[in-house]
Each structure stands twice: as structure tokens, then as C-alpha cells.
Structure 1
Amino acid sequence: MIQIGQEIHNRYKVIKKLGSGNFSQTFEVEDLLGINSSNLGKMKVLKVLKLSYYSNSKMREKVVELFQREVEVLKQLNHPGIPRVEPDSYFRFVPNKNNQDDFLHCLVMEKIDGLTLEEWLGQNNQLITEAQAIDWLKQLIVIL
């Protein structure tokens, strides 16, 4: 899988793991090349699809299809609350050069500064109020 400090796709250096779920893992990466000088050294998020979760090959194909669809949708959206992706943001990465058939589906996207919900809850040590939940939902509606 992906290791901290590893260079991915001859462009990204893995800085730290951000999270993991049943379907994917996310990492903070540094853009070593950048499309232009403003992206050079910029921190981004790498999302890696975890196909090992699926034993059925048809399910794997469907999950990859949905992942690629997510990439295409993100390319079309333009909102400060949605991470931007570049044209070459989706790629397949071979972590083990001895096994070219074993590759990972990857997506690199803009890293949006701010707290995750989990971090916010940890810092505030309380649940959100009803008014705050409604405010956040209104913000989500505008984004979507």
C-alpha cells in the first residue's frame, strides 16, 4: 500500500495519512512538480481506492467506475467548498514494480484548509446546536 515519505506518480510525496474507511484511504501529499509555479510544493489530498475490500470482480469494476465518475464530476464543479481537481488528477499507481498488474486507483485534489467534523467536535467538546446544524445544512445546499 502507500507509505509515508513515498513518492507517488513521480510527482507527489506522501506526508501523512489523513483517514481511512472501508472504500478508500486519504493522505496529505506535497506536489513536487505542479502544473504551474503556484502549485509547486503545495499540499494536496491523495485519495486511494481500496479494492481489497471487494472479493467479487464485478463489484470491483463497479466501484472503479463510480470512482472515475466522481473524478469527472469534481472536474466540472467550481465552488470554494468543493476540492478542485486538475485534468491529470486521476491515475493508476503501481506500488510494487515487480507486479505491474497490482495497481492502485488514485485521485489527487485540492486540500481545503479547515477542521474536519471530528476535529471540530474534539476541540469544542460538545455536540452542535440545532441552529448550527441548520446553518451547516443551508451551506451544503448552496454548494450542492
Structure 2
Amino acid sequence: MQTIGQGGMAAVYQARDTKKGTLCAIKEMSLSTVASDERPQAIQNFLAEARILSRLNHSNLPAFTDFFTEDARHFLVMEYVDGSTLEDLLERNGRPFSERRVLGWARQLCDVLEYLHSQQPPVIFRDMKPGNVMLTRTGRIKLIDFGIARLFRSSGSQADTQLLGTPGFAPPEQYGGAQTDERSDIYSLAMTLFQLMTCSISEKGFGLTDVHKNFPYV
């Protein structure tokens, strides 16, 4: 088993399924950088990710295998995706991708978003960006990291979200005090495609400070 990814909230390992003889990815939640009073919510988010992934089956999503807890450590087991994120590819490329190439990826992303949004209740991804989109060696797009995805349930209250997402990609309503829905993912998809075709993203214009300044009701 070897580490293939490390973040503030989780580590991802490559392992081999001895029964199937295939590679898999194991995501372990890390609480080392999480404040003690925030840990219950972090565990809830991780469990929510497992529940969401367990009900999904689409060619543009990593296949979910299992979820388990051992000695207070929480793990997700899923398909190992052999490829690179579009963020890494864009950095290596050093210039914008062609419209033809990006449109090919866009079709796959639209297809998987349509699938997520057609679930009952709909699944809102909430973190679409090049760093969460992988391109396999066969040219297939895989949407990864459902850490802040949620099931959409319409209610009288509009305050259903937290300060989550990535500045420059997350829509204004995602910065707290408003309700995210399918349109939030479409906004983030547009910003993702914009970066892939321009090599830039306006973090300043879409950052949290500017959102509060221009949209004080959000």
C-alpha cells in the first residue's frame, strides 16, 4: 500500500484487492488538523460522503466498494483511477486547452451532473473544479471527491449550506446563508471550463469578501 494523495482532511492510498486482484483506492479521514469542536461535523461529512457514493453507479464516477471503521479510524474503499486531474494537466500544458478538447470533457461532465441531479433526492456536488476532475489514460473523465456533496431537500429554510467550496468556482449562494441546488453545480462547471480554455480564474472577483460586499444578503 502506498500514499497517492494527502490533504488537510484525508489521505488516499493505493492498495490491491487480494480477492479480485485489482488496484483500489482507500481514503482515510484525518482529524489531526481538525479542531476538537469541529471533529463531530467532520466525521458526519465523511459518513455522508460514504452514503452518497454507495448509492451511485455511473461511468464517470469511481465505483464505490466499501466503507468501514477500525480503531476510530474511518475508511472509504473505491475504484483506483489511473490518470491525472485536469488541474495537473493544465499546469503541465502551460497554455489553455483547445475548445474541441474541452468540449469533449464538458459533454462527459454534463452527463454525470445530469445523473447526479436526477437522483431522488438530487445529489449536489458543490465542488466542481479542475482539481476534482480526473482524466484516465483511456480518455474518460472521472468526478472525484464528494467530501462536501449533499442531498438536496427543499425546505422553508434557505440556510442549508456552510462556507464550503473553492473561491473562483463556487457560486455566491455557496458562501453561507442561502440554499444550493442543481444550478450551483452548473455555475461551477462553467467556471471550470472557463479556466481550462483561458488558463485563468478570477479568484478576486469571486472571493468571499467580494461576495459579501456585492451581495450583502448572502
After TM superposition, the score normalised by the length of structure 2 is 0.46
- What is the alpha-carbon distance in structure 2 between the residues aligned to residue 142 and residue 128 of structure 1? 20
The structural deviation recorded for 1:77 is: 0.9
1:54 aligns with 2:40: no
Per the alignment, residue 113 of structure 1 pairs with 82
Per the alignment, residue 91 of structure 1 pairs with 68
Q: Percent identity?
A: 29
Q: Secondary structure at the match of 1:73?
A: helix
Aligned equivalent of 2:16, options 16, 26, 30: 30
Moved more, 126-135 or 19-28: 126-135
Return 5+ residue gaps in structure 2 as ranges.
Answer: 114-218
* 8 Å CA contact retained: 2:9, 2:34: no
Per the alignment, residue 10 of structure 1 pairs with none
Kindly indicate which of the two structures has a greater share of residues assigned to helix. Answer: 2
Q: Secondary structure at the match of 1:51?
A: coil
The structural deviation recorded for 1:106 is: 0.7
The structural deviation recorded for 1:45 is: 0.4
Per the alignment, residue 211 of structure 2 pairs with none
Moved more, 121-130 or 64-73: 121-130
Aligned equivalent of 1:42, options 10, 22, 27: 22
| Letter in structure 2 aligned against 1:116 | T
The structural deviation recorded for 1:141 is: 1.9
Calculate the aligned-residue CA RMSD, in Å.
Answer: 2.2
Aligned equivalent of 2:42, options 63, 87, 98: 63
Over 3 Å counting, the alpha-carbon distance change for 1:56 and 1:130 in structure 2 is farther
Instruction: Count matched residues.
Output: 113
- What is the alpha-carbon distance in structure 1 between the residues aligned to residue 68 and residue 24 of structure 2? 15
Q: Which portions of structure 1, spanning 4 or more consecutive aligned residues, are displaced by more than 4 angstroms?
A: none
The structural deviation recorded for 1:56 is: 2.7
